[in-house]
Structure formats: structure tokens, C-alpha cells
Structure 1
């Protein structure tokens, strides 16, 4: 099998649908977020593997926005696309919709971005095909991925900063829900 140098976004798209059962629910009768996360990881793997033609691992779950609850008995459809490619990494964008199969009503329940990395059989990262952007949506998603990657790098640097000067944070004493005791 020959690997292409570039692939369109459409060549790697994956769509899955699953009926939500009572066994997928939480104590409130809604579909458990952890179950949805598991499905998100599965479709991200499928999409990334389809694009790279390699085994892929989850590097990070960049965003998961739970917008609306999913009910037992709804048909959930997940649509995954490669939004960005690096050398061995891919950002997979996933849209989750739930359909009431009795009324046909659709609702957008979740949007997620997961970074996957292609690996060879020895666990070494491998180069992935480039991305051909054909539509305005493809370009928009790629550009937004670049912005998210930049924000992620900034956050990572901030959290690794070990120079903590408590005087810089004295303003937090003004918040109603904290009390500082030394």
C-alpha cells in the first residue's frame, strides 16, 4: 500500500452513529460524559488512522465542550475530520449531534478537538500526509487549529513557570469564595 503525500480532508472523514442505551446513562438519566469521551477517542483514532494509514495514539484532548445533554434513546452521530496536520500529529475535530428518533429533532451536543500522533510498530512517530484544503470550512478549521495550538503553547509555558510571587496574586483576596490564611 502506498501512502499519499497529501490527502483531502474529505478522504479521512469518519462518521459513526450509535443508539444511546440506559446502560450509558449517569445517575441523572442523561448519557454519561465519560461514555461520550470514550466514543470521541474511538472516532478520533479511526479518523487519524485513516488519514495516516498508521497506528495512532491520543496525545491530548484539547477541547471538549459539552453543549447539551444527550438523552437515553437518542441516536448520536459523531462526525470527525482532520483539521490540522503537523509532522506526525493531527488535530481531529469532532461534532456530536443527537437525534430524537421519534420527532427527528437534531441538536448539537458536543464539539471536541483531539490531537493524535501516528506511530510505527516500534512506537516511533511517523510522518503523516499533508492536508489539501479545498473548502472555506477546511481553511477556517485549519486556521482555528493554528490559533488553538498557539494558545496551548502559551498555557503550557505559564503552568511550567515556577517563579511564583505571591504579591502578584493578592487581588484574589477580594473574591468572595476564598480566604487566604498564612
Structure 2
């Protein structure tokens, strides 16, 4: 296995026609179907990079920017943004295209943290990321910062460390009634 692999070496894309069976009660493509496709392509990208079976550890924020219509083509693009020792952050971009007009829409982007596993389910080391442009450095740095911010956020609100007095004043203007 290589010590480092380039972003290009693990980049993956798929295009799929959205069918009526993919629609929700509102007649749009169900968000759960799009999330399933995103998870599949993140797996493909991470597995291609690590040459291992990978699992999804977390998904960082998914904002649905535009609905996807039945009959549109959906293209998902995945590329490696960050590599740790055993984990990777895969950036996934979703675009839809109206096949009659050719109009394209950016539907959403998200970041999947994937972890490489061995045959026994243990985490295994992965190749580092070879970056050769400013965008790659920006993406790697953003992912590193996002990972650190999530850790700080999680520890700040850990039940064993939570101090209610620190937050009560911030909740005064919120739609909450506290009866403790």
C-alpha cells in the first residue's frame, strides 16, 4: 500500500435517474434516498483510498438546498478531503439536472467521516493524502478545523461536565419553559 495517495486516485462519481419509486409524499425525491446514495459514494471513495472495508462514523450537516424532481439525473461526486490515522473525511456533492432543459442545480454537499476496518472490525491505518493544489490544502484544513470544533462542542455539552448555570441566561429568549 502506498504511504500517500492523491485526491485524484480515490475520486468517484455516479449519475442516476430519479424514478417515481424514489419520491416522497410531496412528489419530490425522498431525502432519505439521496442520503443513501451519498453514503454509498462516500464508502466507495473511502474504500478506494484505504483499500479496506470502511464504515460511516459520522455525517457533518446535510442541508437540502433544492428539491430533486422525479425524472432528473442526479450526479454525486466524492473526493477525499482529509486523512487521519484511521479515519477519512470524504466530501460529497450532489447535483441534479433536468434532462429536457439541461439546467443543473447544486442540491447539497456534506462531509462523511469514514473509518477503515480490518477483517475483525478493528480500525486500521490508512494512506495519507497527497495534496498538490491550494484547494486541497483548504479542504484538508477546513476538515481538520471542523473535526476539532466538533470535539470541543461534544465535550462542552458532555453530561458529566455540563453546568446548567452557564446556559440558563442564554435560553431566556428561546421558545422553552424550564421547570426544574
Alpha-carbon RMSD: 1.4
CA distance in 2, matches of 1:4, 1:38: 30
CA contact (8 A) 1:173 1:180 kept: no
CA distance in 2, matches of 1:168, 1:178: 13
Q: 24, 27, 41: which one pairs with 1:43?
A: 41
1:124 positional shift? 1.1
CA contact (8 A) 1:76 1:97 kept: yes
Q: Give unmatched runs, 5+ long, in structure 2.
A: none
TM-score by length of 2: 0.94
Q: Give unmatched runs, 5+ long, in structure 1.
A: none
CA distance in 2, matches of 1:140, 1:171: 33
| Residue 172 (structure 1) aligned with residue 171 (structure 2) | yes
Pairing of 1:110-121 with structure 2 (within 5 A): 110-121=108-119
1:65 positional shift? 2.0
- Off by >6 Å, runs of 4+ in structure 1: none
CA contact (8 A) 1:63 1:114 kept: no
CA distance in 2, matches of 1:178, 1:114: 32
Would you say how many aligned residue pairs link Structure 1 and Structure 2?
Answer: 179
TM-score by length of 1: 0.93
